[in-house]
Every structure is written in structure tokens, then in C-alpha cells.
């Protein structure tokens, strides 16, 4: 069956020994060799596809993060309404494990609206954190 170029016939059955078959076979084999070649540009094309996939994944991850942030912020709004927002929730070992309960400064809450830790507890924690050795 003869190929009919220019007639919009993209799929044409050809004999296994036809020049068309030989050319396609050679092209595909060369492509495989190209992908396997560490100097090849093919992995870059593959990377572009992978990057598109990563981007999609990243966007859906960001969407989930946004939803999580909304949930946490809505919880904070409820805490404001019930008057429990803005107090330190850090358990103090020197106070029978009771929450510190100090009021967190407005300055700190403006910067970190979801913090449950007052500046005093934050500084205490930083002091007890293992230090990184510097040369």
C-alpha cells in the first residue's frame, strides 16, 4: 500500500522491509541510544517533563498548605472570640508542667500570629538549645 503524503494520512501500514519502516526503526533506535548517552540532550527534554510534573505537585502542595493555614487561622479566630488567644501555651517544667500562660506581646503576635510561645519562653528555649560550634 503506497503512502499518500499530503493527504492527512499520518498512520500508514507499511511492510517491515519498506524504506519508511527502516527509517523509523533507525530513528527510534537512535533515540534510545541518545537517551542512554550521558552527553545527550535527551535527558534535558525528559527533565522538562519531570519539571512540569514537579511544578504540578508543588502547586497542589501549596494549595494544601493554604488550606491548612486557613484551618489554623480559623482556630485562632475562635480563640480570640473565646479569649484564649495570645497566651503562652508552653508547659513549664518548673511549674508542675502547667502552661506558662503569660500574655504574648502584640509586637510578637503581629509578627507570628500563630505562635503559642511568649518571648520569655522563646529565649529560654534558645538558651537551652545545643549550640553549633563555630570555628
Shorter beta-carbon distance to Zn ion: residue 127 or 135:
127
Q: Are 42 and 31 in contact (CB under 8 A)?
A: yes
| Residue 20 host element (H or E) | helix 19-36
**Among 17, 58, 74, 118, which residue interacts with Zn ion (rule: CB under 5 A)?**
118
Q: Footprint of Zn ion on residues 82-101 (CB under 5 A)?
A: 88, 90, 100
Q: Are 51 and 79 in contact (CB under 8 A)?
A: no
| Site for Zn ion contains 14 (CB under 5 A) | no
For the CB of residue 75, give the shortest distance to Zn ion in the complex, in Å.
19
| Site for Zn ion contains 104 (CB under 5 A) | no
Compute the distance between CA of residue 2 and CA of residue 110 in angstroms, rounded to an integer. Answer: 76
Contacts to Zn ion by CB under 5 A? 88, 90, 100, 102, 118, 121
Amino acid at each position: 500500500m503506497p503512502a499518500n503524503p499530503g493527504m492527512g494520512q499520518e498512520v500508514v501500514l507499511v511492510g517491515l522491509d519498506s524504506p519508511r519502516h527502516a527509517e523509523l526503526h533507525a530513528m527510534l533506535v537512535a533515540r534510545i541510544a541518545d537517551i542512554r548517552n550521558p552527553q545527550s540532550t535527551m535527558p534535558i527534554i525528559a527533565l522538562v517533563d519531570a519539571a512540569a510534573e514537579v511544578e504540578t505537585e508543588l502547586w497542589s502542595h501549596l494549595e494544601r498548605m493554604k488550606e491548612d493555614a486557613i484551618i489554623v487561622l480559623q482556630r485562632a479566630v475562635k480563640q480570640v472570640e473565646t479569649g484564649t488567644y495570645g497566651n503562652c501555651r508552653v508547659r513549664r517544667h518548673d511549674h508542675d508542667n502547667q502552661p506558662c500562660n503569660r500574655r504574648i506581646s502584640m509586637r510578637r503576635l503581629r509578627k507570628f500570629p500563630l505562635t503559642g510561645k511568649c518571648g520569655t519562653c522563646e529565649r529560654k528555649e534558645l538558651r537551652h538549645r545545643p549550640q553549633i560550634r563555630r570555628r
